[in-house]
Amino acid sequence: MDINSPSPSTTSPAPGTARRALLGASALGLAGAAAEQARPDGGAYTASKRAIQGLVKAAALAYGTRGIRINAILPGTTDTAFVRPAGVPDEAWVQFKKAYGPLNIEGLERMAEPEEIARAILALTSDDFGYQTGASVPVDGGATAGRRMVLPPH
């Protein structure tokens, strides 16, 4: 919680500052797919990501009248140094990712590349989304869309 949830609350635009004049500005909270999809051993992590969503919604209401749009992005598993263990050889990592995707990401069955998340951030903060505020947008390859139904043999 100390890492994920205080940051947006301490970096949100503060009343009475020069930020009030930013008409048409956009801010983005980085939550994560974990806000929508919990894991048995990840309660605190999920709660911290949900906290970001709540802060984004409150800030969107507080600053919308000033023309400041505030949304959250919910990236899924992304091929970064945070996910890849140190020292894993490139070929082993490629094989791991091939196996990981179909087991964990129902939709596209692969991890995101950092550039894909960056493009989603640029799009959401652009004027193309000028009427969107207070939203949490999954960019997770379909991981939070649901799971396939598996029936036992009959």
Domain boundaries, the chain: 6-139
pLDDT reported for residue 73 = 97
Residue 124: per-residue pLDDT = 96
DSSP label at residue 112? B
Question: Is 45 a residue of the active site?
Answer: yes
Quick one: fold of 6-139?
Answer: Rossmann fold (3.40.50)
Q: Is 63 a catalytic residue?
A: no
Which residue's entry shows tokens 């050889």? Answer: 89
Q: Is the pTM of this model over 0.85?
A: no
Residue 19 has a pLDDT of: 46
The whole-number pLDDT of residue 16 equals 46
Query: Which residues face 72 on adjacent strands?
Result: 29, 136
- pLDDT of res. 51: 96
Q: Which residues of the chain, if any, have pLDDT below 70? A: 1-23
- Catalytic pick from 45, 97, 98, 100? 45
Yes or no: say if 124 and 58 are a contact pair by the CB < 8 Å rule.
Answer: no
